[in-house]
Amino acid sequence: MGSGREGAVTVYCIRVVVLGLLLTVLTSARSAAAEVEIGGQYRVMANNSNFGWHADAITDDQPADAFFNQRFRTWLGVNAEENASGYLEIELGHNTWGGQGNEFPKVTDLEVRRAYVKYKTDAECEFRIGIVPWSDSFGDVLASSDHDFNVGGLSYSKKLDEERRLSLALLHLREASPDFPGDTDLLALDVDFGKGIGLGVYFLNDRGGYSYGTAGDKNPFFGGPGAAYDSATDLWVGARGKHGEERVLDWFVIYNSGKTVDADWEHSGFAGKMALSVPLGLEKKLKLQALYSTGDDGTDPAKSGEFRTLAQGERDNFGAMGYWSMLGLTSPRGPSDVNDLGVGLQNGGLGLLTLQASLDVSLGESSGVYFAVGWLQSAEENANGDSDMGVEILAECRHKLGEGMGLEVGAGYLLTGDFYKTNPGDPAPDDLFEIYARVQLEF
Contacts (Cβ under 8 Å, ≥6 apart) of 168: 155, 156, 157, 188, 189, 190
Task: For residues 180 and 289, give the distance between their C-alpha atoms in angstroms, rounded to a whole number.
Answer: 32
3-class SS at 9? helix
**pLDDT for 219:** 40
3-class SS at 375? strand
Q: What is the DSSP string of 285-298?
A: EEEEEEEEE----S
Question: What residues in the chain have per-residue pLDDT under 50?
Answer: 1-7, 9-11, 25-26, 28-31, 100-102, 214-223
- DSSP-derived pairing of the beta strands 367-377 and 405-416: unpaired
Phi-psi region of 233 (alpha: psi -120 to 50; beta: other; left: phi over 0): beta
**pLDDT for 214:** 46
Task: For residues 58 and 318, give the distance between their C-alpha atoms in angstroms, rounded to a whole number.
Answer: 16
Q: For residue range 341-385, list pLDDT tens digits in order.
A: 989 999 988 999 999 999 999 998 899 999 999 999 999 998 888
CA separation, residue 54 to residues 27, 127, 143, 293, 370 (Å):
48, 37, 18, 20, 24
Q: Are the beta carbons of 389 and 417 closer than 8 angstroms?
A: yes
Instruction: From 383, 226, 185, 419, select the one nearest 317 (Cα to Cα).
Output: 226
3-class SS at 364? coil
Task: For residues 173 and 142, give the distance between their C-alpha atoms in angstroms, rounded to a whole number.
Answer: 14
Cis peptide before 94 (omega within 30 of 0): yes
The per-residue b/e assignment along 52-82, b for 16 or more CB within 10 angstroms, e otherwise, is: eebbbebbeebeeeebebbbbbbbbbbbbee
Task: For residues 332 and 189, give the distance between their C-alpha atoms in angstroms, rounded to a whole number.
Answer: 27
- DSSP-derived pairing of the beta strands 266-281 and 303-304: parallel
**pLDDT for 315:** 62
**pLDDT for 196:** 93
Instruction: From 390, 393, 429, select the one nearest 413 (Cα to Cα).
Output: 393
Fold adopted by 4-442: Porin (2.40.160)
Count CA atoms closer than 13 A to 302's CA, side-chain side.
3
- Per DSSP, 97 falls in state T
Q: For residue range 53-87, list pLDDT tens digits in order.
A: 777 789 999 998 888 888 889 999 998 878 899 99
pTM to 2 decimals? 0.87
